Amino acid sequence: MARTRARHAADAQPIAAAALSVLQPERLSGLRVVLHPSVYLVQSRFPVVTIWESSQTCAMIDRWGCEAALVARPFFEVEVRRLPPGGYAFLRALAEGQNVATAAAVAKDAASKFEVCSNLIVLRDANVVVAIQEAA
């Protein structure tokens, strides 16, 4: 369902990865990140990304546990990415308009293994940021 919704979402131009360099630790409380309209988040008690990946390659599922996924179509193809610990809470808070520091605090409360850097790398690699704004 998330893949279909992402496929039919509005188009938007992601910002260049280099523009994310403004997301320095000392500035996180003053910045908001606007996510691409095709972004959908899925959190499951099942290994949804592992199941998706194995269905594409006919591979065996060798690990079974909770997973969260980022589903988006920043360019032409819908992509499914496994989120690191706390990634679902972090991206959901960003999608709800929280500044980056607040979103990180929410994610840290949700997952003790949350790391801001690894989640910012997901944002960069997924090309799902369409704007960075000063927080109100």
pLDDT digits (tens, 9 = 90+) for 39-78: 999 999 988 888 887 777 766 667 778 999 999 999 999 9
Q: What is the torsion angle, in degrees rounded to the nearest 10, for the CA atoms of residue 50, residue 47, residue 69 and residue 122?
A: -60
- pTM, entire model: 0.90
Domain around 25: 2-134
Q: Is the pLDDT of residue 114 over 70?
A: yes
Burial class of residue 101 (count of CB atoms within 10 Å of its CB; 0-12, 13-18, 19+):
middle
- Please tell me the predicted confidence (pLDDT) of residue 61: 66
User: What pLDDT is attached to residue 15?
Assistant: 93
| Partner residues linked to 70 by β-bridges | 41, 81
Task: At 84, list the tokens.
Answer: 């690191």
116 φ, ψ (degrees, to nearest 5): -60, -45
Mean pLDDT of 115-126: 93
Number of domains in the chain: 1
pLDDT confidence of residue 25: 75
3-state secondary structure of 77: coil
